[in-house]
Structure 1
Amino acid sequence: MLLIQTALRCEAEPFIQHYKLVQDDAVLPYKFFRGETTALLISGVGQEKAEAATEWIFSLLSPSLIDLYVNLGIAGSVTHPIGTPVVCTTILNAETKEQFQLHSPSDLKLPQGTLETHLTPVGSSECLLNQDSLVDMEAYFCLRAASQFLPLEKIQVIKVVSDALSDKKPTKEHVTQLLRGALPDIETYLANYLNL
């Protein structure tokens, strides 16, 4: 099974539609969607929600059922064009500098990069540890929780660039449009990764 986790419904919507996922209303307290070979969890924004939701989903689904767990969503970047899907191979906690290294075969054709997870929104590149990094608020904590249940080879982080680290927050409609535009490349990447 492919298990996707997003922070926001607007990030999830293109994947819910594409994979024809149905909401499981019996599952609380999170929004959880299921299909034959794919499931999707919406955690909410921020460190605590992301980590708690990740731990929760692995109490619901046996890790042995999961072929690949993907933290998927938007991120800011000053070096990648808006709309670009990026496979994050280094995921840093910006506060503690702790990190995860994930494997991504270079022949799978998506750009690779470093992702910094910050506790609060970042409005300029001056706050970055590395000027080339992407920025989010959840991935490191999702990984920290997921890695308790799965080997790192079964974990991926893919972020679609939504902004150039401005204080202006992208609209829900714009986020959905960006993820929908990146979906074909992401789907191809995931299918190829699962077939390695």
Structure 2
Amino acid sequence: MLIIAAALHCEAKPFIEYFDLKKDLSYSSFQVFRKENIVLYITGTGPMESAIVTASFLTKEPPSSDDFFLNVGICGSIRKDLPLGTVILCNKLIEQETGHTYFPDILYNHPFREGSIITSFHKQYESKAAKETSPTVTKVSDFIDGHVFADMEATALYQAGIYFLKPHQMIFIKIISDYMDVNSVNSYKNLDVSALIESNIEIITDWIENLLNNRAKNDNDFVKEEMEYLSYLFDNLKLSVTMEHELKQYLRYYKLVNGEFLSFIKHLAQDLPLPAKSKTEGKKYLDYFKKNLL
């Protein structure tokens, strides 16, 4: 399943049209569109609303360990050498009000520029004149401190999503819409957001679809019962995504040689005081499994 979150309908429109999504009328508090294994919902703008809507949606439709969550939308940039419309894959999320930092696990090859993004309750502009023109904006130089991109939802979505998903399942893609200066205040109202995102729809969707296809290929050698047990085991071992992939490789090899692995790994797990108390302890248990599976 691919779960797409966009703050505004104009940001969501290119994906709704590309995937031919249909509105889900069972939702009344916010808009949801879906088709087969793709669902898109509109969060609204700002950290609080987007976090509440995301928690509400993921509570009603809990994601599995095979799902991906994609937050897509526009962002401001202080890098004026980057053209408007440049696609950014966010590798670091900063909450402006608290300074808290979050790191999505980017484990996959991709064609995008990476960068850190800072999230605020207000639109962010650089010049004093801009702030005087629009008193609700925040002056960029007050808080950017070297961080290149800015939006109003990313960190809030991460904080809500981490209760349901793992860091490698969450992807934050932003498209530069303005340079956070006085000219942006005057031109933003005339911005065609849908067209800006539409110009990048193919490169984004091709990458996401390839990601989903590769995930299916990698896991199709495990049957449903095996995947369910592995999900339980990984949660109890507190393994990182990298360590999960490592153990899966050992299990694939063991299954290739012996025909199945479920009964043996359950037997091994009986000797462990699960759940692990920490990732360090989980790493010790991983070494135990690896040693016995060889």
Q: Report the TM range for the smaller structure's normalisation.
A: over 0.9
Query: Within 2, Cα distance between the matches of 1:62 and 1:36?
Result: 16
Residue 64 of structure 1: SS of its match in structure 2?
coil
**1:144 maps to which residue?**
159
RMSD over equivalenced CA pairs, Å: 1.8
Structure 1 residues 170 and 66: CA distance shift in structure 2, 3 A:
farther
How far is 1:173 from its partner? 5.9
Q: Does residue 1:126 correspond to 2:141, yes or no?
A: yes
Contact 2:177 2:196 in 1 (8 A): yes
Report the TM-score when normalising by structure 1: 0.93
Query: What is the Cα deviation at residue 95 of structure 1?
Result: 1.4
Q: How many residues in Structure 1 have an aligned counterpart in Structure 2?
A: 196
Who is 1:87 aligned against? 89
SS of 1:177's partner is: helix
Name stretches of at least 5 consecutive residues in structure 2 with no aligned partner: 127-139, 216-294
Is the CA contact (8 Å cut-off) linking 2:13 and 2:194 kept in structure 1? yes
What amino acid maps onto 1:114 in structure 2?
S
CA apart distance, 1:128: 3.9
Indicate the residue corresponding to 1:4 in structure 2: 4
**Distance in structure 1 (CA, Å) of the matches to 2:75 and 2:34:** 25
**Which residue identity lines up with residue 8 of structure 1 in the other structure?**
L
Is the Cα–Cα contact under 8 Å of residues 5 and 72 in structure 2 kept in the other structure?
Answer: yes
Match of 1:177 in 2: 195
Give the helix-richer structure, 1 or 2.
2
Structure-to-structure mapping, 1:56-75, within 5 angstroms: 56-64=56-64, 67-75=67-75
Larger Rg: 2
Question: What fraction of aligned residue pairs are identical, expressed as a percent?
Answer: 28
Residues 167 and 131 of structure 1: is their aligned pair in 2 closer, same or farther, counting only changes over 3 Å? farther
Higher mean C-alpha displacement, 99-108 vs 150-159: 99-108
- Equivalent position SS for 1:63: coil
Q: Does 1:50 align with 2:50?
A: yes
Q: Does the Cα contact within 8 Å between 1:10 and 1:172 map onto a contact in 2?
A: no
State the match for 2:136 in structure 1.
Answer: none
Residues 6 and 43, structure 2, Cα contact 8 Å, conserved in 1: yes
What is the aligned partner in structure 2 of residue 189 from structure 1?
207
Aligned-pair CA distance for 1:51: 0.3
Secondary structure, aligned partner of 1:170: helix
- Given that 2:118 and 2:147 are in contact with CA atoms closer than 8 Å, whether structure 1 keeps it comes out as no
Q: How big is the shift at 1:94? A: 1.0
**Which 4+ residue blocks in structure 1 deviate beyond 4 angstroms?**
none
Per-residue displacement from partner, 1:66-125 (whole Å, max 9, x unpaired)? 610011100000213210111001000011111111122473111110010011111114
Higher deviation after alignment, 142-151 or 185-194: 185-194
What is the alpha-carbon distance in structure 1 between the residues aligned to residue 29 and residue 45 of structure 2?
14
Residue segments in structure 1 that go unaligned for 5+ positions in a row: none
